[in-house]
Amino acid sequence: MTIHKEGYKTIAWSAIIFGIINILSFYLLSFTDPIISYLVFIVTLGLFLFIISFFRIPKRNFTVDENAIIAPCDGKVVVIEEVQADEYFSDRRIQVSIFMSPLNVHVNRNPVSGDVTYSQYHKGKYLVAWNPKSSTENERHTVVYRKNGKEVLAKQIAGALAKRIVNYLQPGQKVKQNDEMGFIKFGSRVDLLLPLDAQIKVKIGDKPKAGVTVVATW
């Protein structure tokens, strides 16, 4: 397991705050209220370890399949439905939404290899990520991939806790399946918009893993 580059600054500041709080706790409480000082250490250590784990990149054996659309993130499948596309596409598509809790790995990966034909950031609200309106009203970044004349859209969506979306892709860029698309800090969701003839391989409640789980084939 390694630590993602997006976490270096956050972890460094967390370590400084952790140290300051516990130094003050030791000098102010350890002799008069040692139990409280000990509890402060346990709670702050737990929070610090949580922040480190949030930016983890576990080792995985990625699924490489030119006919498959691979999960762009870890999480839980919360939506599978036919929808009218509201960005880039003008037709109907199958939407597959994966909700990420703060405990999930938050690296986002390319679901397919191909050319990036669209990459657009949108400012917005911070509704809870499972709210259907979050797909169109929340802060988000949309990427469209084209492969063999077919296109798939991936939308990173911020949530109530997620306050920063990072995306590394630019239009015209050629990308490989499972390479990093970006990162969302502290919980959110990723929507996929797939062609209507895509064969969905997941169901509501499934817990896919980024770069491993086949969401659909085409």
Q: Which residues are paired to 114 by β-bridges?
A: 175
65-to-72, 108, 161, 173, 214 alpha-carbon distances in Å: 14, 18, 33, 20, 9
How far apart are alpha carbons 157 and 161 in whole angstroms?
11
Length of the chain: 218
Are the C-beta atoms of 46 and 188 separated by less than 8 Å?
no
**Per the structure block, which two tokens stand in for 130?**
């499972």
Backbone angles phi, psi at 83, to 5 degrees: -135, 160
Vertex 19 angle, CA 16 and 23, to 5°: 145
CB 103 within 8 A of CB 73: no
Query: Among candidates 74, 39, 79, which has minimal Cα distance to 57?
Result: 74
Residue of 97, 134, 135, 188 marked catalytic: 188
Under 8 Å between Cβ of 80 and 202 = yes
User: 179 and 32 in contact (C-beta within 8 Å)?
Assistant: no
- Residue 188 annotated in active site: yes
Q: For residue 16, how many other CB atoms are within 10 A of its CB?
A: 10
Give the residue numbers annotated as catalytic, written as ranges.
188
